[in-house]
Amino acid sequence: MNFQHLRDAPLPASSVAFLWRYIKVRPIHFLAMVSLVIGAACCAVVVQYGMKLLVDAMAGESQATQVWHAFSLFMALIILENVLWRLGGWVGCYTIVGSCADLRVDLFHHLTGHPMRYFRRHFSGSLANRVSAIGAAADKVYGGLTWRIVPPCVDFIGAVVVMLAVHPAMALALIGCVVVVAALITVFGVRGRSRHIAFASQSARVGGEIVDLVSNVWTIKAFSGRERERLRLEREIGIEAQSHRRSWIYMEKARVLHDICLTIMAGGMLGWAILLWRAEQVTAGDVVMVSALTFRILHGSRDLALALVEASQQMGVIAETLGIIAQPHELSDTPEELAPTRGHIKMLDVSYAYPGGSEVFEHFFLDIPAGQSVGIAGTSGSGKSTLLGLLQRLDDVRSGVIMIDDRDIRSVSQDSLRRQIAVVPQEPALFNRSILENIGYGLPDATEQQIIEAARQAFCDEFIQGLPQGYHTLVGERGVTLSGGQRQRLGLARAFLKDAPILILDEATSALDSDSEAIIQRALSNLMRGRTVLAVAHRLSTIANFDRVLVLEDGEIVQDGTPEELRLRQGRFRTLWQMQAMVHNR
């Protein structure tokens, strides 16, 4: 099966279908692994028959050659069993580890396809923990199925076959006992599924809380919140611990039930075999074999019971994760690519509202010719950032259409659309990677020389060269080792490198000091040349030289004109300009 075709298919909603998806990717590997384990388990059963032959040969009046033949068979089976176990482990190592790696990559890929509103509803740390946890859960299910569920089943079938040859009634009794025990354990395991899911959900929530707290440790210190946050986390972990105890105690109850049933079964079968031996209906070797097989099934079925309960628990973890992450994407996508554009933007009769929230745009129209620089002003909540998000298709309009060069952005792939747009946000997001990699994120195929040239254009080459390892210096989580101005210039360097026809500036200088802002304004002036620019700015001075300014209020354009025209005309822009001028002059 073509793995890329499988990867592009929607993720299954059920845990069984999800795990089966990766078995279909490596069918030969899984078949070989299970076959080797079955072969090893069969050898383990036949070894008991070899022991019977050896005991009977020694207890009777057999010749020495028959004893040594039985011994040779016994040893050969032990050696073959061990070889098959080790081969199964070797194949399983590559098969299961590879499958668990694939499913985590696929789950992450699916996760990143959700719209931004999805990430506002969920803890980022909780989502990350779920992606990691599902890999561990799948590993336990695949491994448990292969090494803890299949062998006891083979032992049982083999024991029944062997006992049929010794005493058919004992074989039928064994079948009845195991069927009753298996039914009890299965029902018990299914009924405990809700406890395991509840524990998995709370565990993921606690993980998300811890990540959130660590990410905001400055705020905790600044507001003397260590004790408050300790108490809050203590409550959350207390709830998790309670869920964990309920899940654990339920597993212990399953173990107790299993031990009682299997002890009765083992004692009964062995006592029956001894009575048959005293009645001379079976040989001493038969008693040894029945004893060995019964105790093997005892231990094997204990592993089977624990594996079934654990598999139920891990399937609950997988189901809970799939319920959160693998839900269908709310934004449709298409493989069709958006060709390189000139950057002509149109928004025709657009309406949009936050899910379950208030209306943002209603019958909104906007036309921005290619190459025009447009500043967007207005108070908080007027729709400025939402407008930029819709243009990037971080969410879909409720009605109407957004077009780039007369092409509906919903008719092309999201990635190809975003390749035509460079974004410089207020706080550029940096990975804990080298500066070279962070700038190069704007154009994955860029050479090192191209990256350095983009850094020079963004006026950040000088400070980069002053760092201990230059362009290979790690910036720390979210760029914490750099100042705000330095991070902003790296964001600009990304945009220079990307060289997209449409440039979005989302309050790109609002959080900077005057010196940093002056440097970045020079870089922005160079970056804007020949591009269609949309810039949200709280500092109106940053858009004073733009071709055009839009003033938004409650999702409507209340003013539209050049900055000079709007400064002279009575209206919202003039009021905001005068207020900022007064603040600046104080």
Average pLDDT for runs of 10 along the chain of length 586: 58 87 90 92 80 71 71 84 90 90 89 82 78 88 87 82 78 78 72 74 76 74 77 85 83 76 77 79 75 72 72 82 84 84 91 81 92 88 87 89 92 89 83 87 87 87 86 78 81 87 80 64 81 85 86 89 87 80 54
Output the pLDDT for position 427: 78
Q: Give the Cβ contact number of residue 515 at 10 Å.
A: 9
Would residue 408 count as lying in a domain? Answer: no
Output the pLDDT for position 32: 94
DSSP per-residue codes, 457-494: HTT-HHHHHTSTTGGG-B--GGGTTS-HHHHHHHHHHH
Would residue 204 count as lying in a domain? Answer: yes
Separation CA 577–CA 287 (nearest Å): 99
Output the pLDDT for position 345: 93
Separation CA 508–CA 517 (nearest Å): 9
Strands of the sheet with 421-424, listed across from one edge:
421-424, 502-506, 532-536, 373-378, 548-553, 556-561
On whether the CB atoms of residues 134 and 318 are closer than 8 A, the answer is: yes
Q: List CB contacts of 469: < 8 A, sequence separation 6 or more.
A: 434
Instruction: Name the one residue in this structure whose structure tokens are 């969410």.
Output: 395
Structural domain boundaries enclosing 296: 3-325
End-to-end CA distance of the chain: 71
On whether the CB atoms of residues 394 and 507 are closer than 8 A, the answer is: no
Would residue 361 count as lying in a domain? Answer: no
Separation CA 38–CA 146 (nearest Å): 9
Q: Is the pTM of this model over 0.85?
A: no
Residue among 243, 248, 246, 251 at smallest CA distance from 206: 243
On whether the CB atoms of residues 282 and 166 are closer than 8 A, the answer is: yes
Separation CA 503–CA 418 (nearest Å): 11
Would residue 197 count as lying in a domain? Answer: yes
Output the pLDDT for position 124: 74
Strands of the sheet with 345-353, listed across from one edge:
359-368, 345-353, 399-404, 407-408
The pairing of beta strand 421-424 with beta strand 502-506: parallel
Output the pLDDT for position 1: 45
Number of domains making up the chain: 1
Separation CA 337–CA 306 (nearest Å): 51
Output the pLDDT for position 582: 57
Give the CATH number of the domain where residue 68 resides.
1.20.1560.10
Residue 489 CA: distances (Å) to CA of 426, 460, 466, 492, 544: 11, 6, 15, 5, 21
Query: DSSP secondary-structure letter at 434?
Result: B
Would residue 536 count as lying in a domain? Answer: no
Residue among 389, 399, 409 at smallest CA distance from 344: 409
At residue 61, the 3 state secondary structure works out as coil
Output the pLDDT for position 178: 74
> Tokens standing for 117?
């509103």
> Tokens standing for 377?
């002003």
Separation CA 488–CA 506 (nearest Å): 12
On whether the CB atoms of residues 287 and 273 are closer than 8 A, the answer is: yes
Residue 265 CA: distances (Å) to CA of 151, 175, 372, 470: 19, 11, 84, 72
Would residue 499 count as lying in a domain? Answer: no
Q: Give the Cβ contact number of residue 385 at 10 Å.
A: 17
Would residue 8 count as lying in a domain? Answer: yes
Query: DSSP secondary-structure letter at 148?
Result: I
On whether the CB atoms of residues 542 and 572 are closer than 8 A, the answer is: no
Per residue in 204-235, is it b (16+ CB within 10 Å) or e — as a string?
bbbbbbbbebeeeeeebeeeeeeeebeeeeee
